[in-house]
Amino acid sequence: MRGKWAAGIPPRNFTWVIRDRLAISERPGGFAPNHRRVRRNEEIIWLRAQGFTRVVSLLPSPHNLAAYDEQGLACVHFPMPPSGDVRGVLGDVFQWLHGEITTGERVLVHQDELGDRVMGVAAGYLVWSARLPDAPQATTVVERLIGHPMGPAGRELVALSVDLAPPEPPAAAGSARTPA
């Protein structure tokens, strides 16, 4: 591929939450009725060219996962149901993100569109990982990054994140941990 499209195109609403580590966007290729395969491929090319090592899909369905595999971009799927208790999924997402981000991986998190749910996951992670001190500050930071207010669905995720167990600090070098 040559020309101006050789490096692909960024996904719509692409935003860094933690510079060079954690970004969020809408689903590469667009959301369901507007999804375009060619656009999806161009956006995956761009993600690879930018050094992204993982894509996290929060979609309830496995859409796009095969496309990531086909183009050699590692992906992980944490299906987040549209309603009901999401604490288990949220805790798993935060633990996984923390492991990837602290080891230097570049990660993109998406759902169909960049809406309240993805905003809530991003803000929740910032609180859960102690990168920001509290839910109101994390909510404000993510709202400013995205450029619009977070609705009730996102704010609920941020509130839930405060009650989840925080990441364990790394063990000191040379110390041994004994099981309890």
**What does the pLDDT read at residue 178?**
36
* Pick from 94, 124, 90: nearest CA to 107: 94
Q: Do the domain assignments include residue 158? A: yes
Single pTM value for the model: 0.89
Q: Do the domain assignments include residue 178? A: no
- Report residue 107: phi and psi, to 5°: -125, 140
Range of the domain at 67: 15-163
Q: How many domains does the chain have?
A: 1
pLDDT tens digits, residue range 23-49?
Answer: 999 999 987 766 788 999 999 999 999
Q: Do the domain assignments include residue 179? A: no
Segments of the chain scoring below 50 in pLDDT? 1, 172-180
Q: Do the domain assignments include residue 100? A: yes
Q: Do the domain assignments include residue 6? A: no
pLDDT tens digits, residue range 85-110?
Answer: 999 999 999 999 999 999 999 999 99
Rounded CA separation 25/46 (Å): 13
CATH number of the domain where residue 88 is located = 3.90.190.10
Q: Do the domain assignments include residue 28? A: yes
